[in-house]
Amino acid sequence: MHSRRHFFEKAAAGLAGVALASSRALGANDRIRIGVIGPGARGKELMKLALACPNTEIVGAADVYTRRLDEAKKIAPSAKTYLDYRHLLEDQSIDAVLIATPQHLHCEHFVASLDAGKHVYQEKTMAFTVDHAKRMRAAYQRAGKRTVQIGHQGCSMGQIVDAMEFMKTGYVGKITSIHSHMYRNTPHGKPQWSRPVLADMTAENIIWKSFLGEAPPHDFDPNRYINWRFYWDYSGGNFYENMCHQLAIWYKVLAVSIPTAVTTVGGIYLWKDGREVPDTMSVNMQHSEEMLFTWDSGFGNQNLGITEHVLGTDGTIINASEMDEAIRYVPEKVNRPDGVEIVGQRRTPATAHMQNFLDCIRSGNEPNCPFELGYRVSIASRMAVDSYRQNRTLRWEPTREEAV
């Protein structure tokens, strides 16, 4: 296992700095060499998805926790491992980077990866704050012809194509509201998201300063490390974990802009385990398209599951992904008395979003969840967080690009 001592010995030798590397031109059948920053639970899933796509190779993995590097080697035995992600980015043979670190670190790793000349798959939610979103945008603009895919995998699912076709028919009419849910439950005594603190989660095996990044200083705390989703310093709570996915689908299908105003209410009503983020919440988002997008979520009952209802004057689009149902259109008989239900037909494999990323690296085409979509979703998600924390409605000021 890598140790903290090994890390500091390596760092003492000096980092030459990450030079801008020109990505090699890749043909349709060329192998793409991939590095991963943050091979934790989600990062390992992304590694497996990438390896399930043709002509890919995982050649490097970086993480601040030694156990994660050992786990990454089990998936990609030939991959080099690093406790400092900058060493990974120095490898000019790496074409693309998968970033699956905690949310407060996204900006740091995204900017560094693009500046190093890599294509980037960035896990959601793309940006932690409005300032981070702007810094990431500047890096994306500097990078030129680099493929960036944001990890809202629903944007590559067949439901998107079906929804767009429903819209083309004109059968939905004027949409004034989207009502969405995301509900879960767990057995008594097993809090949602809670992860155990393992014996090897020590200051010897975790580079604490690197984990903190730009977050406020804090003494080493293995619980804050492994349960980072509980704390505002590192997490946007369920707004960043799940609301963002449901926003991304309909922001894409309907080309919805950043909300003009967001109001969030809720609280920690169930899990009194030291978490700071709410377990029950309701978000109301107003948009310049004269449309209201509401999202309700809780961790104490899963009956409503994960659903979106797109409500139009002439019909409703219903997406019930948690129930494994096909997306469907249901007519409003008051305006379409002869209308009939239409059921979506398209199914896509779990690798669809990753495959789209890799295909776009080779072709130069825009990916299914491009930077600009991730930017809009990030701002909306941040407004929801800040509205909750400040207990007031937040409004978007587009000229200054600030929530006020």
Question: Residues 289-305: pLDDT tens digits?
Answer: 999 999 999 999 999 99
Total domains, the chain = 1
Mean pLDDT of the chain: 94
Q: Let me know if residue 209 belongs to a domain.
A: no
Local confidence pLDDT in tens for the 404 residues of the chain: 444 444 443 443 444 344 455 456 777 778 999 999 999 999 999 999 999 999 999 999 999 999 999 999 999 999 999 999 999 999 999 999 999 999 999 999 999 999 999 999 999 999 999 999 999 999 999 999 999 999 999 999 999 999 999 999 999 999 999 999 999 999 999 999 999 999 999 999 999 999 999 999 999 999 999 999 999 999 999 999 999 999 999 999 999 999 999 999 999 999 999 999 999 999 999 999 999 999 999 999 999 999 999 999 999 999 997 556 789 999 999 999 999 999 998 889 999 999 999 999 999 999 999 999 999 999 999 999 999 999 999 999 999 999 99
Contacting residues for 79 by C-beta, under 8 A, at least 6 apart: 58, 59, 60, 61, 72, 73
| CATH code, domain carrying 315 | 3.30.360.10
Cα–Cα dist 172/291, whole Å: 14
Token pair belonging to 135: 């810094």
Token pair belonging to 4: 């903290």
Q: Let me know if residue 137 belongs to a domain.
A: no
Question: Rounded to 5 degrees, what are φ and ψ at 221?
Answer: -150, 105
Contacting residues for 35 by C-beta, under 8 A, at least 6 apart: 58, 59, 60, 61, 62, 88, 89, 91, 94, 96, 97, 98, 118
Q: Let me know if residue 132 belongs to a domain.
A: no
Question: Residues 357-371: pLDDT tens digits?
Answer: 999 999 999 999 999
Q: Let me know if residue 384 belongs to a domain.
A: yes
Which of these, 112, 108, 95, lies nearest to 35 by C-alpha position?
95
Q: Let me know if residue 25 belongs to a domain.
A: no
- Domain range for 386 is 155-194+236-349+371-403
Query: Quick one: which H or E segment has residue 122?
Result: strand 119-122
Strands 394-397 and 402-403: antiparallel
Question: Residues 375-393: pLDDT tens digits?
Answer: 999 999 999 999 999 999 9
Q: Let me know if residue 4 belongs to a domain.
A: no
Q: Let me know if residue 34 belongs to a domain.
A: no
Q: Let me know if residue 97 belongs to a domain.
A: no
